[in-house]
Amino acid sequence: MLNVTALTKMDVSYLTENLPSDLAGRVNLQTFQTAEEAGPALENTEVLITTGKFDEAWLPLLPKLRWVQSLSAGVDKLPLQELGERQVTVTNMSGVHAIQMSEYALSVMLGWVRHTKAFNDSQRDKVWNHKLITGELHGQTLGIIGTGSIGTEVARKAKAFDMRVLGYSRSGSLKPNFDEIRTGDSGLESLLRESDFVLLLVPGTKETVRLLSARQFAMMKQSAYLINMARGSVVDEADLIQALQNGTIAGAALDVFEQEPLPAASLLWEMEQVTITPHISGDTPQYVERSAEIVYPNLFRFLANEPLLNLVDLRLGY
């Protein structure tokens, strides 16, 4: 019997309630919200299912741990070095965010060109503001930094609006629905210079820390709009605030921040040209159900000693 523990405050009852019959007699799947609640169950846990957050104090409690299945796509908050030293396999949820996060990206772009905030303010103030000129996504250039499953889905939906879609990736390999894929320093610079919208979707790693700072903002169009759905660490927040204050770029939609929750003292809260959401672009009522499409096959694979889906390279961090 394979001992599997889900340790998360997320409601993952779907995983236990819908465990395939072929797994039911081979897997002992228990769910707990805290390590204290799990207690002795951790001593025999071979597989840990958890969110992207991981308390290092758990490691000594898990002497038999062989595999961590993250319920998040990002694994930057897991103790990857320590897990690697213990030869623990890590897999993530890459692929389950494409629908909801692509819809988020399109929603904030449409909100920007259609001046949703301004019209909401007019409605609140009972002002008939018919002089405000709205724009279009049609014909504009979207630059997507990170061309994985989410970026590819955003590109597909953006083409429905007749947008030109540029991508940036380390490999530079062409992906469906992108007009061009750029790579290298020169590729990133050209994407930033040409894009009306810049969308960040890269993982949080040492290589992506402050990928965009003052130098990169200066390359962008003054009319450009930044969307960060990656990690707060990917953007130098102080430089972004200055770029917004100075009109170096026009606006931003931010779902992730260097410090979360975003401190009340942050100037970003007061900026009319900024849309702030509390790290929810990946949320959906179907999240755990979609996660099961990776968790269940991976349990079968683990039992059969086959390669797991969404295997994380612990050296690269994704």
pLDDT of residue 53: 80
Shared domain for 17 and 108, answered yes or no, is no
pLDDT of residue 52: 75
Residue 82 designated active-site: no
**308 belongs to a structural domain:** no
Per residue in 262-277, pLDDT (tens digit) is 999 999 999 999 999 9
Shared domain for 233 and 150, answered yes or no, is yes
Q: Which of 227, 278, 279 is CA-nearest to residue 250? A: 227
**56 belongs to a structural domain:** yes
Which residue among the candidates 37, 260, 272, 293 is catalytic per the annotation? 260
Shared domain for 212 and 84, answered yes or no, is no
pLDDT of residue 108: 98
**313 belongs to a structural domain:** no
Q: How far apart are CA 267 and CA 269, in angstroms?
A: 5
**317 belongs to a structural domain:** no
Please, what is the average pLDDT of the chain?
Answer: 97
- Token pair recorded at residue 231: 């990690």
Which residue among the candidates 210, 279, 290, 301 is catalytic per the annotation? 279
Kindly state the average pLDDT of the residues 104-129.
Answer: 97
Total domains present in the chain: 2
Per residue in 51-97, pLDDT (tens digit) is 978 888 899 999 999 999 999 999 999 999 999 999 999 999 999 99
Tell me the C-alpha to C-alpha distance, in Å, between residue 161 and each of 46, 157, 164, 179, 312.
47, 7, 9, 14, 34
pLDDT of residue 119: 96
Domain of 78 in residue numbering reads as 2-96+285-303
Residue 156 designated active-site: no
The H or E element containing residue 252 is strand 251-254
Q: How far apart are CA 240 and CA 248, in angstroms?
A: 9
Shared domain for 142 and 247, answered yes or no, is yes
| pLDDT over 70 percentage in the chain | 100
Residue 130 designated active-site: no
- Give the strand pairing for 2-7 and 27-32: parallel
Shared domain for 156 and 266, answered yes or no, is yes
Shared domain for 155 and 294, answered yes or no, is no
**310 belongs to a structural domain:** no
**314 belongs to a structural domain:** no
Shared domain for 213 and 132, answered yes or no, is yes
| Per-residue H/E/C for 113-166 | HCCHHHHHHHHHHCCCCCCCCCCCCCCCEEEEECCCHHHHHHHHHHHCCCCEEE
User: Is the distance from CB of 198 to CB of 168 less than 8 angstroms?
Assistant: no
**309 belongs to a structural domain:** no
Shared domain for 126 and 270, answered yes or no, is yes
Shared domain for 90 and 105, answered yes or no, is no
Shared domain for 88 and 131, answered yes or no, is no
Give residue 293's region: left, alpha or beta (phi > 0; psi -120 to 50).
alpha
What's the CATH code of the domain at 6? 3.40.50.720
User: Is the distance from CB of 317 to CB of 80 less than 8 angstroms?
Assistant: yes
Q: Which of 22, 30, 79, 55 is CA-nearest to residue 312? A: 79
pLDDT of residue 54: 86
User: Is the distance from CB of 29 to CB of 19 less than 8 angstroms?
Assistant: yes
Which residue among the candidates 97, 194, 231, 237 is catalytic per the annotation? 231
pLDDT of residue 280: 97
| pLDDT over 90 percentage in the chain | 97
Shared domain for 51 and 142, answered yes or no, is no
**242 belongs to a structural domain:** yes
Shared domain for 205 and 81, answered yes or no, is no
